[in-house]
Amino acid sequence: MTNNLRFKTSRFIDETYRISFKFNNKTYFGFKGDTLASALLANGIHLVGRSFKYHRPRGIMTSGSEEPNAIIQLNDNSSRTEPNVRATEVEIYEGLVASSQNCWPSVNFDVGGINNLLSPILPAGFYYKTFMWPASFWEKYEYFIRKSAGLGKSPKVADPDIYEHHYMHCDVLVIGGGISGIMAAKMAAKNGFKTLLVEEKSYLGGSSIYDNSEFSKINNQITSSWLEKEINEISKLENLEIKTRTSVAAYHGYNFLLARENLTDHLPISQRENKVRQRLLKIRAKKVITATGSIERPLIFDNNDRPGIMLSSAIKKYIDLYGVACGENNILFTNNDTAYETAMSLIQRGIKINAIIDNREQIDSKISYEVEKNNIKIYKGYSVVDTYGYRRINKISIMKLSKDGQTVIGDKTKLNCDCLGLSGGWTPAVHLFTQSGGKLKFREEDQVFIPNVYPSDQISIGSCNGDFSLDEIIKNTLSSIKKFLDIDNSEYKTIETISGLNQSKRNIWLLPSDKSIGKTKSFVDYQNDATAKDIKLALREGFRSIEHVKRYTTTGMGTDQGKLGNMHALGIISETAGTKMGEHGTTTFRPPYTPLTFGTIVGRNVGEFFDIFRRTPIHDWHVANNAEFENVGQWKRAWYYPKDNENMHQAVQRESKAARDSAGILDASTLGKIDIQGTDASEFLNRVYTNAWSKLAVGKCRYGLMLNEDGMVYDDGVTTRLGENHYIMTTTTGGAANVLGKLEDYLQTEWPELDVYLSSVTDHYATISVCGPNSKKIVSKVIPDLDLSDEKFPHMSFKNAKINNIKCRVMRISFTGEHSYEINIQANFGKSVWEKCMEAGKDFNITPYGTETMHLLRAEKGFIIVGQDTDATLTPIDLQMDWIVSKKKYDFIGKRSLYRSDTIREDRKQLVGLLTENPEEVLEEGAQIVADIKKSPIEMLGHVTSSYYSPNLKKSIALGVVKGGKNMLGQKLIIPMENKNINVTVADPVFLDKEGERLNAKL
């Protein structure tokens, strides 16, 4: 039977170029120009997959992106494998491999087909109703449900292809290269607008490009010939860029659109190396012309889903464009005239049409008379009530429709066929229009939603605007584009059109059956197996909102988003509920219009480019010295430096000990640095920090705590007064950008009268911190000219200095509790100064330490880390840092909030130290803290925020927040863990050297 399905008529198919491909492990042949769907049909294959829920055999239904059934797994078992690809959109290439989804062991014999027999007990909401109790069993159910559900298989290895993002700007964007889009693009480009035309298919012209019928003509030429000349003309226009294989995925506000351009998917895999596969176009258009056409509606009747049942327009396209006959004994079932166009295309090639079943009693159009003349039997006023054939349709039965169309009457007639074309009229593709925020209106005459209110500078033309006849399309396109672009010259003189079609239609959303509805399977959403019965059940169970019915029945929730059936669902709801169609509105159309690959969405931002990361000027040294790195915000910070196969714990213990026993060195370049200048700089600091700044002498440093207006700790750091009106503020590494933003906010919006200027200088300086009892000796070797005596350079002060003529700032400040210096030098000298320090510290066992050791050392001293020990719910009082809150200052950010009824509560969580009963036991950060484990439910008092084993104290130490912790010193608490309870005692958070002797020791 597969011999004469291909007809040598199409100029779109190159029969000299044969292509072999594999489908379900069998090799087939097609030609250049074929889609996978047309090539399969040419080989007599309709059955390509199984349905989602009932595992019913399903065939190719459409010829475009609206396809619900023919979704396949492409490039099986390779890194390029891709699930849920529409066979109707895949252009075949040599070596293509594809297979059916959702079936086992094969598409011809699928074990899951049992679900079809079980369907009476699998109604809408089955899973919700059946598996909701007992709730604890869900985990068990879920495993089996998930195993039996699901469409394709996702790839298991990295995608080898390259993707990219590309910005485009234009005066006019035309979406859709059908007849109206081509006319619009020509008018725009010729009138001086920079125009971009995008078309999802590989060719321009839409359905008119293969309209060779005598019944629709333009200026007395066959439509396709006329259009071909137009395409030739526009392809030469300089002002016009044309992108085919480009599908608009999203239409956002302010005419911002996303489109996916397919560049290599049609090429054999061997030719794809080093080429960009898909490009996400980010288009900003001044004006948008939407010409997305329309999608043919199927008809809803019992068993309307068998392989061999297709849209009538698809049958026409397969024969006219691809030269492929979908069946050898066809029947068309219609409620309007467009099926007669399909009939004429088949008749012209001598392909048998057994009958046409037409809902309408009266048919009065030239084209229908012509079909009748060819001795095709037309059953007027009839409906299909059932179909037969498991893997391929072989028979239908028809009955006469009653006058009101609500029932079927008379005898059942059976007719043979191997292909049934459905034509239920057309649905304008308004998806993009509504995504942009456009409001639709319902047109009663032919039951369609069409664009009504435009939210941005845009217009819809052609059949997506509800113009279905050739005459209307051309006339309205000309007049609306002229008006929209405000141009006089339409570029077209008179256009005469002839059409043999009449626009009459008999719309019945759900066709009547001789069976009760409960016994029928009339599919509304093919992909998700939602039937008319399910929708009616949902309504009976009380669902009214279209959005609820959609979710309950899963209508329109497949990968095709119900492009075919959504209108019928609405129609059935309004008929059943007795409401008017327009009243329900539609469900929301969400981007993307057709699925996008993850590759397209992420573009080049993969692997190391997934997120940018920042390196300090000393980074290379850390790498060369075996550092492990930690991500802090976007920074890569040296975490610890393992030596001789040390693990992290061993390295950190060694580093921590060395820093206190002799000398440690830390790369602190990531700390945020903000340069503050202006005559009101001191006043500004007074307002943003909790403590007082006016009296800080030039050359001195001070630690500051910054709150939010709600009184919660926001950031901290040391700020140094460099001059009378000049400060440098340091912030936490992660908080730098936000702090600058917050300070700018207050300066610009609340205190514009202050003369203060802020500038981020984080990247301008490298910061090297040298600490420990030998730090002074080391720094004096690096900067011999600097007087490091305690008299001249005491703790919390700053000096300008020079290293080899390079200016640097040296601060004597400490985050470890040790005597320490911070050298700030312009970034490009950072590494050499670091190396100098290492050289100078050689005799003192100078030990580079990373963030982990830094955290340990500061925890020994009870210094907080904002963001680790705090979480935006702690005030300075909660942190037992009352000393830093000025009582004298009239105001600062957050001051008023410190005595709100909530912030003065005694039982707030407060920061405390925690010591474990067993000094070797190290707590887990984040562990819960409780007092009484017998009470149920156990009251959670707080949690552990920082925890380490201190090599200097030779015991485990931790910080935590505990309700009312301030008054619990010495009290015993419990940390309940999975397999044990750990006893702890509340302690002072300062574990080491509370008196600060180490800091001020005479060295």
Partner 1 sequence: MFLINCPFCGEREQSEFKAGGEAHIVRPKQPTELSDDEWAEYLFMRKNIKGVQFERWNHVHGCRKWFNMVRDTSNDQIKAVYKMGEKPPVE
Stretch near partner 1 under the rule CB under 8 A, chosen from 322-330, 600-608, 787-795, 892-900: 892-900
Which residue of 169, 275, 548, 896 would you call a contact of partner 1, by CB under 8 A? 896
758: which 2 tokens? Answer: 């802020």
Burial classification of residue 471, based on how many CB atoms lie within 10 Å of its CB (0-12 exposed, 13-18 middle, 19 or more buried): middle
Which residue of 153, 165, 252, 506 would you call a contact of partner 1, by CB under 8 A? 252
Residue carrying structure tokens 């005692």 = 985
Which residue of 95, 160, 192, 253 would you call a contact of partner 1, by CB under 8 A? 253
Count of residues near partner 1 by CB under 8 A: 23
Report in angstroms how near the CB of residue 702 gets to partner 1 at its nearest. 24
According to the binding rule CB under 8 A, does residue 842 interact with partner 1? no
Query: What gap in Å lies between CA 541 and CA 622, rounded to an integer?
Result: 66
According to the binding rule CB under 8 A, does residue 890 interact with partner 1? yes
Provide CB contacts within 8 A for 467, sequence distance 6+: 180, 461, 473, 476, 477
Query: What gap in Å lies between CA 919 and CA 957, rounded to an integer?
Result: 8
According to the binding rule CB under 8 A, does residue 710 interact with partner 1? yes
Q: Which is nearer to partner 1, 603 or 772 (CB)?
A: 603
Q: Which is nearer to partner 1, 635 or 892 (CB)?
A: 892
Residue carrying structure tokens 């908080």 = 735
Report in angstroms how near the CB of residue 142 gets to partner 1 at its nearest. 38
Mask 677-696, x = binds partner 1 (CB under 8 A)?
--------------------
Q: Residue 164: enclosing H or E segment and its boundaries? A: strand 162-175
According to the binding rule CB under 8 A, does residue 891 interact with partner 1? yes
* CA distance to 355, 395, 445, 767, per residue, from 413 (Å): 12, 10, 31, 90
Secondary structure string (H, E, C) spanning 486-509: CCCCCCCCCCCEEECCCCCCCCCC
According to the binding rule CB under 8 A, does residue 634 interact with partner 1? no
Which residue of 233, 496, 745, 907 would you call a contact of partner 1, by CB under 8 A? 745
Residue carrying structure tokens 């619009």 = 184
Mask 39-78, x = binds partner 1 (CB under 8 A)?
----------------------------------------
Which residue of 489, 805, 901, 979 would you call a contact of partner 1, by CB under 8 A? 901
* CA distance to 184, 260, 454, per residue, from 172 (Å): 10, 18, 16
Local structure of 429: helix, strand or coil? coil
* Cα pseudo-dihedral 936, 940, 941, 942, rounded to 10: 160
Stretch near partner 1 under the rule CB under 8 A, chosen from 125-133, 203-211, 248-256, 851-859: 248-256
Report in angstroms how near the CB of residue 616 gets to partner 1 at its nearest. 23
According to the binding rule CB under 8 A, does residue 709 interact with partner 1? yes
How far from each other are the two terminal CA atoms of the chain, in whole angstroms? 100
Query: What gap in Å lies between CA 345 and CA 313, rounded to an integer?
Result: 11
Q: Which is nearer to partner 1, 496 or 750 (CB)?
A: 750
Q: Which among 982, 987, 983 has a CA at the least distance from the CA of 970? A: 987
According to the binding rule CB under 8 A, does residue 741 interact with partner 1? yes
* CA distance to 688, 694, 750, 892, 893, per residue, from 889 (Å): 11, 11, 18, 7, 11
According to the binding rule CB under 8 A, does residue 380 interact with partner 1? no
Report in angstroms how near the CB of residue 173 gets to partner 1 at its nearest. 15
Q: Packing angle between helix 851-860 and helix 648-661, nearest 10 degrees?
A: 60
Q: Which is nearer to partner 1, 275 or 764 (CB)?
A: 764
According to the binding rule CB under 8 A, does residue 835 interact with partner 1? no
870: which 2 tokens? Answer: 């705090």
Stretch near partner 1 under the rule CB under 8 A, chosen from 251-259, 689-697, 923-931, 933-941: 251-259
According to the binding rule CB under 8 A, does residue 256 interact with partner 1? yes
Please say whether the dihedral angle defined by the alpha carbons of residues 711, 714, 716 and 721, taken in this order, is positive or negative: negative
Report in angstroms how near the CB of residue 437 gets to partner 1 at its nearest. 6
Q: Which is nearer to partner 1, 152 or 894 (CB)?
A: 894
**Residues between 454 and 473 that touch partner 1 (CB under 8 A):** 455
One-character DSSP codes across 275-293: SEEEEEEEEEEEEEEE---
According to the binding rule CB under 8 A, does residue 843 interact with partner 1? no
According to the binding rule CB under 8 A, does residue 133 interact with partner 1? no
**Residues between 429 and 448 that touch partner 1 (CB under 8 A):** 437
- State the amino acid at position 847 in one-letter form: T
Q: Which is nearer to partner 1, 753 or 997 (CB)?
A: 753
Q: Which is nearer to partner 1, 7 or 251 (CB)?
A: 251
Stretch near partner 1 under the rule CB under 8 A, chosen from 519-527, 591-599, 713-721, 738-746: 738-746
According to the binding rule CB under 8 A, does residue 412 interact with partner 1? no
- The CA-CA-CA angle for residues 150, 393, 359, to 5°, reads 105
Burial 863-879 (b: 16+ CB within 10 A, else e): bbbbbebbeeebbbbbb
Q: Which is nearer to partner 1, 620 or 744 (CB)?
A: 744
128: which 2 tokens? Answer: 């919700």
Burial classification of residue 488, based on how many CB atoms lie within 10 Å of its CB (0-12 exposed, 13-18 middle, 19 or more buried): exposed
Query: What gap in Å lies between CA 398 and CA 173, rounded to an integer?
Result: 47
Q: Which is nearer to partner 1, 181 or 735 (CB)?
A: 735
Stretch near partner 1 under the rule CB under 8 A, chosen from 124-132, 138-146, 302-310, 742-750: 742-750
Report in angstroms how near the CB of residue 745 gets to partner 1 at its nearest. 6
Query: What gap in Å lies between CA 292 and CA 461, rounded to an integer?
Result: 8
* CA distance to 40, 652, 659, 959, per residue, from 954 (Å): 75, 13, 15, 16
Stretch near partner 1 under the rule CB under 8 A, chosen from 594-602, 629-637, 740-748, 761-769: 740-748
According to the binding rule CB under 8 A, does residue 925 interact with partner 1? no
Report the relative pairing of strands 47-50 and 57-59 from DSSP bridges: antiparallel
According to the binding rule CB under 8 A, does residue 284 interact with partner 1? yes
According to the binding rule CB under 8 A, does residue 744 interact with partner 1? yes
According to the binding rule CB under 8 A, does residue 750 interact with partner 1? yes
Report in angstroms how near the CB of residue 886 gets to partner 1 at its nearest. 13
One-character DSSP codes across 654-675: HHHHHHHHT-EEEE-TTSEEEE
Report in angstroms how near the CB of residue 460 gets to partner 1 at its nearest. 18
Query: What gap in Å lies between CA 151 and CA 103, rounded to an integer?
Result: 9
Q: Which is nearer to partner 1, 256 or 390 (CB)?
A: 256
According to the binding rule CB under 8 A, does residue 763 interact with partner 1? no
Stretch near partner 1 under the rule CB under 8 A, chosen from 270-278, 387-395, 746-754, 927-935: 746-754
Report in angstroms how near the CB of residue 752 gets to partner 1 at its nearest. 6
* Residue 807 per-residue DSSP state: E
Helices (H), 586-637: 598-602, 619-624
Stretch near partner 1 under the rule CB under 8 A, chosen from 233-241, 252-260, 493-501, 879-887: 252-260
Report in angstroms how near the CB of residue 923 gets to partner 1 at its nearest. 35
Stretch near partner 1 under the rule CB under 8 A, chosen from 190-198, 443-451, 749-757, 912-920: 749-757
Stretch near partner 1 under the rule CB under 8 A, chosen from 149-157, 247-255, 323-331, 368-376: 247-255
Stretch near partner 1 under the rule CB under 8 A, chosen from 603-611, 842-850, 857-865, 896-904: 896-904
Local structure of 426: helix, strand or coil? strand
Q: Residue 940: enclosing H or E segment and its boundaries? A: strand 940-950
Contact set with partner 1 (CB under 8 A): 252-254, 256, 284, 437, 455, 709-710, 741, 744-745, 748-750, 752, 890-891, 895-897, 900-901
